[in-house]
Amino acid sequence: MAAPASDATVLIVDDDAALRKVLGALLGQAGIASVEAASGREALLVLQSRLVDAVLADLRMPEMDGMELVSHVARGWPDVPVVMLTAHGTVALAVEAMKRGAADFVLKPFDREEVLFVIQKALALGGRPTEGAALATDLVGESERVRRLRTSIQRSAATSATVLIRGETGTGKEVVARAIHEQSPRRAQPLVKVHCAALPEGLLESELFGHEKGAFTGATSRKPGRVELAAGGTLFLDEIGDVPLSTQVKLLRLLQERAIERVGGVDTIAVDVRFIAATHRPLEKMMADGEFREDLFYRLNVIPIEVPPLRERPSDIALLARHFTRLFCAAHQLPARTLEAGAVERLGMAPWPGNVRQLSNLIERLVVLGTGRIIGRTDVELELAREGARLGGTGAAAATTAALTSPTRTGASLEQQRHDLERAAVQEALARANDNRTLAARMLGISRRTLYNKLEELGLD
């Protein structure tokens, strides 16, 4: 596995100061920076004030334990992976923490190589907020396409049949997967997600099937895989089109036999899991090109569900926009704000290449950065211009957009105007967030790492 970026920072959380120093020195030798927190509450303050790429936390701590910390991080910083440190007697608790969102765990007394291996794996997975987190919503809409989608969800949820969800990026495939699970008889059991595109081939197998002690460098203890963690519940294989052919063979066996073998193991383990897969890739073309197994496709495509792009359900844009406005006012503890009719009309004219996720991010920025109770048409047009959206539309809206971006408006080049708009947006977000860069990044709809790069680029660092 490739080494993590040299500027990666890990937050070490433990009430034992000596152990924090040991772990910090270990990470430092591997070129990974670290910061420390003596408790879960102190860790949350650190996360609010600076950029952190991963968290390494003890499971047993006074006041706020590791389990509670995992829940807070999953809600507030979904792109920050958490690795748990746990004693041999609390492995079951560590597995429960993984079901709640922890990326992995390491047993104490820990092995140096295993700590580095697990942290590097967590860093490789970091910075990828899930589609469900990005959309932060239930399935909203009253168009005919959405009504048919709800019917498909209800019918498939009542069974244990495998579902293949297809649709463009940002349409809400994970929202659909979660809805199927939550309406199914398995809803009391875990929904476990595997992001198939985020891991290299060897590591993906270990994540899926688990591994035995000594299976590879850094495997100093037996670990359950995501399939085992999903026992009795649902396994969601996101971006299934990115699974390499060698792993596709093993997935096919899992789907056929409902059994696995851990990496480095010989025992066959029966599993009771419902499978949901999702992809935005053209699987039929991939099959024709020899990149995706035909037999695996037919095993996955038992119940096909297509999630429509936002441009094919334009009547839902107003409902979604108002829903997101209420949602983000509540989430950020802001006074209620209203979208005026002109703002809603302007939103309906945009093509939304980023689908519902793009609309969600834009509304959040309007809510957080706005100064009044009313969000107007001009506010929407400015925000669309800032994010470089293909604005579309005609008449007055197109004229306003042209005025905003024309070099003749101020005598500056288009590139300079974009630079100025970006700078103003970043400065405004930082001011609104009281210079909390993590919060500012969320307001802007970008990752914390992108914000730090943007600050340097704009001369604001």
> What was the pLDDT predicted at 404?
41
Task: Please state, in angstroms and rounded to a whole number, the distance separating the CA atoms of residues 1 and 212.
Answer: 19
My answer on whether 136 and 121 are in the same domain is no
Domain boundary (68, 101, 125) is at 125
My answer on whether 96 and 145 are in the same domain is no
> What was the pLDDT predicted at 415?
65
> What was the pLDDT predicted at 397?
37
Query: What pLDDT digit, counting tens, does each position of 104-118 carry?
Result: 888 777 778 778 888
The total of structural domains in the chain comes to 3
Tokens of 277: 């897969």
Cβ burial, residue 135 (10 Å; 0-12/13-18/19+): buried
> What was the pLDDT predicted at 220?
63
> What was the pLDDT predicted at 1?
46
> What was the pLDDT predicted at 193?
86
> What was the pLDDT predicted at 126?
60
- H helices, E strands: number in the chain: 21, 14
| Domain assignment present for 1 | no
> What was the pLDDT predicted at 88?
60
| Domain assignment present for 2 | no
CATH number where 341 lies: 1.10.8.60
| Domain assignment present for 4 | no
Tokens of 408: 């003749």
**Residue 236 backbone phi and psi in degrees, to 5:** -105, 110
Task: Please state, in angstroms and rounded to a whole number, the distance separating the CA atoms of residues 4 and 430.
Answer: 28
| Domain assignment present for 87 | yes
My answer on whether 45 and 171 are in the same domain is no
My answer on whether 188 and 272 are in the same domain is yes
3-state helix, strand, coil in the chain (%, to 5): 50, 15, 35
Residue ranges in the chain whose pLDDT is less than 70: 1-7, 88-91, 125-138, 202, 217-221, 387-415, 417-418, 432-434, 439, 442-443, 445, 447
> What was the pLDDT predicted at 355?
92
Q: What is the DSSP letter of 107?
A: E
Say how many C-beta atoms besides its own lie within 10 A of residue 64's C-beta.
Answer: 18
**Residue 428 backbone phi and psi in degrees, to 5:** -65, -40
My answer on whether 230 and 256 are in the same domain is yes
The answer to whether 67 and 46 have CB atoms below 8 angstroms apart is: no
| Domain assignment present for 3 | no
Give the DSSP H/E element, type plus range, for residue 234. Answer: strand 234-238
My answer on whether 297 and 322 are in the same domain is no
Task: Please state, in angstroms and rounded to a whole number, the distance separating the CA atoms of residues 15 and 12.
Answer: 10
Among residues 10, 106, 103, the alpha carbon closest in space to that of 58 is found at 106
Say how many C-beta atoms besides its own lie within 10 A of residue 416's C-beta.
Answer: 12
| Domain assignment present for 136 | yes
My answer on whether 151 and 283 are in the same domain is yes
Task: Please state, in angstroms and rounded to a whole number, the distance separating the CA atoms of residues 255 and 162.
Answer: 9
My answer on whether 140 and 207 are in the same domain is yes
| Domain assignment present for 405 | yes
My answer on whether 300 and 374 are in the same domain is no
> What was the pLDDT predicted at 156?
96
The answer to whether 84 and 70 have CB atoms below 8 angstroms apart is: yes
CATH number where 36 lies: 3.40.50.2300
Tokens of 218: 């850094």
Give the C-alpha distances (Å, rounded to integers) separating 433 from 136, 332, 437, 439, 459: 20, 11, 7, 6, 19
Measured in residues, the chain has a length of 461
My answer on whether 285 and 331 are in the same domain is no
Domain of residue 252 covers 131-308
* Residue in the block written with tokens 């589609």: 131
> What was the pLDDT predicted at 383?
86
CATH number where 219 lies: 3.40.50.300
| Domain assignment present for 313 | no
Among residues 65, 128, 119, 120, the alpha carbon closest in space to that of 97 is found at 65
My answer on whether 340 and 274 are in the same domain is no
Among residues 312, 91, 62, 376, the alpha carbon closest in space to that of 210 is found at 91
Query: What pLDDT digit, counting tens, does each position of 120-132 carry?
Result: 878 876 644 444 4
> What was the pLDDT predicted at 442?
67
Domain boundary (287, 308, 329) is at 308
Task: Please state, in angstroms and rounded to a whole number, the distance separating the CA atoms of residues 60 and 15.
Answer: 9
**Residue 184 backbone phi and psi in degrees, to 5:** -95, 165
> What was the pLDDT predicted at 105?
83
My answer on whether 115 and 137 are in the same domain is no
Domain boundary (308, 327, 347) is at 308
